[in-house]
A and B are shown apart, each in its own frame.
Chain A
Amino acid sequence: DADVTQTPRNRITKTGKRIMLECSQTKGHDRMYWYRQDPGLGLRLIYYSFDVKDINKGEISDGYSVSRQAQAKFSLSLESAIPNQTALYFCATWTGDSNQPQHFGDGTRLSIL
């Protein structure tokens, strides 16, 4: 079983719809992250959470919201989806130790028509 699981893996929806992307982890890491990836732009941080009560905006948080339901679960919502939110979304976890890498889910490919 994957350590970091994202659902759904693919989603096609229409402009204006509310979308929720879910992430769950079995690694026991406190820190969780949501990134979006667009061609040529690398990974850009949307939101991050250091624990259940600590949620922070990243560089591109406009149009998104998050919920940290438990240490193991971190959900990303698009309240009213727009076409330029079409992208590949990744959830990641991290221990916070500088010599340890982040662990990524397999990604959610989201298309907004």
Chain B
Amino acid sequence: EDQVTQSPEALRLQEGESSSLNCSYTVSGLRGLFWYRQDPGKGPEFLFTLYSAGEEKEKERLKATLTKKESFLHITAPKPEDSATYLCAVQLYGGATNKLIFGTGTLLAVQP
């Protein structure tokens, strides 16, 4: 069964304290891996797409990396405004639709 697991469930950091969020997956054939940010009461906001092992993408304090089994979202020197839930999703080969399988997310709280 195709599955996406995110860890930790929740993470509390001090401002400036770098860390990483993990997204591990077991799927039949990975077409792409997506990272989203979701603020309370809002819809997910697209951050990155990764397609192949070894690929990296950066945006401000965030960097996403991909291996054959997992992806990491590295947060460097976070600020309180980085507090949100970070969602990971995978897209599989085959099928007629752009179906995404989501993890349950990591709730990040950055304290000043």
Mutual binders A and B: no
Residues of B within 8 A of A (CB): none
Binding site for B on A (CB under 8 A): none
